[in-house]
């Protein structure tokens, strides 16, 4: 039996692959290795997986129908029928969606449609788990964010594509009865993290003696979630195929967050302490497409999946900083 994992060279994807392999799963990963951020970092993540028994990698684009069909056939030939799909491949980044909107339509919309349609030929498939985002909550002011809240007012194209992906999955499950579960990730950080995310950007700037950009003049709060907790949530979701809802549609949505909203300035303080350096701060206005606060209601995730995040930033940030220094050869 095989788990087909998209975005395998990505931050979350590579960690999920490692966790699946550690529990004895056969994993076939696909990634297009695009240059949105360092391809060397993506290849370094893959290098950690390449020697693991049960892992195979296929370079390909999830928005390419022929490539996905060929990859799924190869996956089945390598490890047996595909029983689960974890679809994490996406074009990430709120601010970049203002600059290059077309790649979001390709990766996040077409990619979702292609991956779901590809499941129709997989007789052994039991569950399709996919990545959504806390950004779907848009300008909502009620905290914490609940999956029962309305999400009809996205404030970025990225958020709009992620919400659209949820609706596409719902319609697919309604028609074809394939169980689908969407996971709304809340500001994930940790070792092997993305260079466009706050923790990495702040470390880069502090180590180089450059000012860090602090948006909304620091009046920001985020539900920062450590990668190990996210991975545990992804695997728990995969292991619990969505049951039919009141309308008979086998689809679910869950928040994966730390259930604690941290001040951005507090987050910076913990990074400063871990690095042993003080940050220079450039206080800037709120950026287009951004929101002042995020905070995950995880009651349903705890109840249904046993999800129990256990890593505060005081523990997670030093682990990220230790990896950052090692990866960049900093003593």
* Residues 133, 129: Cα–Cα separation, whole Å: 13
From the candidates 37, 158, 200, 324, give the one annotated as an active-site residue.
Answer: 158
Let me know if 130 is a catalytic residue: no
CB 82 within 8 A of CB 124: yes
C-alpha angle 210-212-213 in degrees, rounded to nearest 5: 135
* Residues 14, 19: Cα–Cα separation, whole Å: 9
Rounded to 10°, the helix 264-275/313-327 angle is 50
Facing residues of 239 across strands? none
CA atoms within a 13 Å half-sphere pointing along the CA-CB vector of 229: 27
Q: How many C-beta atoms lie closer than 10 Å to residue 273's C-beta?
A: 14
CB 260 within 8 A of CB 315: no
Q: How many C-beta atoms lie closer than 10 Å to residue 51's C-beta?
A: 7
> Among 121, 117, 151, which Cα is nearest to 136's?
151
Question: Which residues touch 97 (CB under 8 Å, ≥6 apart)?
Answer: 91, 104, 156, 157, 158, 161, 289
> Among 86, 18, 97, 90, which Cα is nearest to 61's?
90
Catalytic center residues: 158
């Amino acid at each position: 039996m095989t788990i087909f994992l998209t975005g395998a060279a990505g931050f979350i994807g590579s960690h999920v692959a490692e966790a699946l392999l550690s529990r004895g799963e056969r994993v076939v990963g696909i990634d297009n290795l695009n240059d949105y951020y360092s391809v060397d970092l993506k290849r370094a993540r893959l290098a950690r997986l390449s020697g693991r028994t049960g892992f195979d990698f296929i370079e390909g684009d999830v928005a390419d129908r022929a490539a996905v069909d060929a990859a799924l056939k190869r996956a089945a030939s390598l490890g047996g029928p595909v029983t689960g799909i974890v679809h994490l491949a996406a074009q990430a980044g709120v601010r970049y969606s203002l600059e290059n909107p077309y790649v979001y339509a390709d990766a996040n919309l077409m990619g979702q449609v292609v991956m779901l349609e590809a499941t129709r030929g997989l007789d052994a498939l039991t569950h399709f788990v996919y990545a959504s985002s806390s950004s779907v909550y848009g300008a909502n002011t009620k905290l914490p964010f609940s999956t029962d809240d309305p999400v009809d007012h996205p404030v970025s194209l990225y958020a709009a594509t992620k919400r659209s992906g949820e609706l596409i999955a719902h319609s697919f499950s309604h028609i074809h009865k394939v169980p689908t579960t969407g996971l709304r990730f809340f500001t994930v950080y940790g070792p092997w993290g993305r260079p466009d995310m706050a923790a990495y950007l702040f470390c880069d700037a502090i180590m180089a003696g450059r000012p860090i950009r602090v948006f909304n003049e620091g009046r920001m709060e985020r539900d920062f979630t450590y990668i190990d907790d996210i991975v545990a949530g992804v695997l728990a979701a995969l292991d619990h195929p969505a049951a039919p809802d009141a309308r008979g549609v086998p689809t679910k949505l869950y928040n994966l967050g730390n259930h604690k909203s941290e001040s951005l300035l507090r987050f910076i303080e913990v990074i400063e302490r871990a690095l042993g350096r003080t940050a220079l701060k450039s206080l800037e206005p709120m950026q287009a497409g951004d929101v002042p606060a995020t905070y995950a209601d995880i009651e349903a995730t705890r109840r249904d999946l046993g999800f129990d995040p256990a890593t505060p930033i005081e523990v997670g940030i030093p682990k990220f900083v230790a990896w950052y220094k090692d990866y960049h050869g900093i003593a």
